[in-house]
Amino acid sequence: MPTTVAANPQPPAIATRERRRSSFWALTLGSIGVVYGDIGTSPLYALREAVNAASAGEVMSRDALLGVLSLILWALIIIVTLK
C-alpha cells in the first residue's frame, strides 16, 4: 500500500497566515482597481463637457484647453489624496 504525502507540508498556523496575507493583497489590489477605475473613466466625460463649455461654440483656444486639463489634473490629485 503506497503512502500518501500531504499536499501542504507546512504547519497549519503558517499556512493560515500565508492565506490571510494573500487574501489581504488580493483585496488591496481589488480596491485599488475600483478606485482608480472609477477615477480613470469619469474625467474622460468631464473633460469633454468642460472643453465644450469653455469653447462656448467657438474654436477652442490653447489657454482654455490647458486650463481645463489643469483643473481636472488637480481635482484627481486631491481626490486620490483624500481617499
Res 31: pLDDT: 80
Residues 50 and 72: beta-carbon distance below 8 Å: yes
Per-residue pLDDT of the chain (83 residues; tens, 9 = 90+): 555 555 555 556 566 666 677 788 888 888 877 777 666 666 677 777 888 888 887 887 888 888 888 888 888 788 778 87
Q: What is the pTM of this model?
A: 0.41
Res 68: pLDDT: 85
Tens digit of pLDDT for each residue in 8-28?
555 565 666 666 777 888 888
B/e letters for 7-41, b = 16+ CB within 10 Å, e = fewer, are eeeeeeeeeeeeeeeeeeeeeeeeeeeeeeeeeee
User: pLDDT averaged over the chain?
Assistant: 74
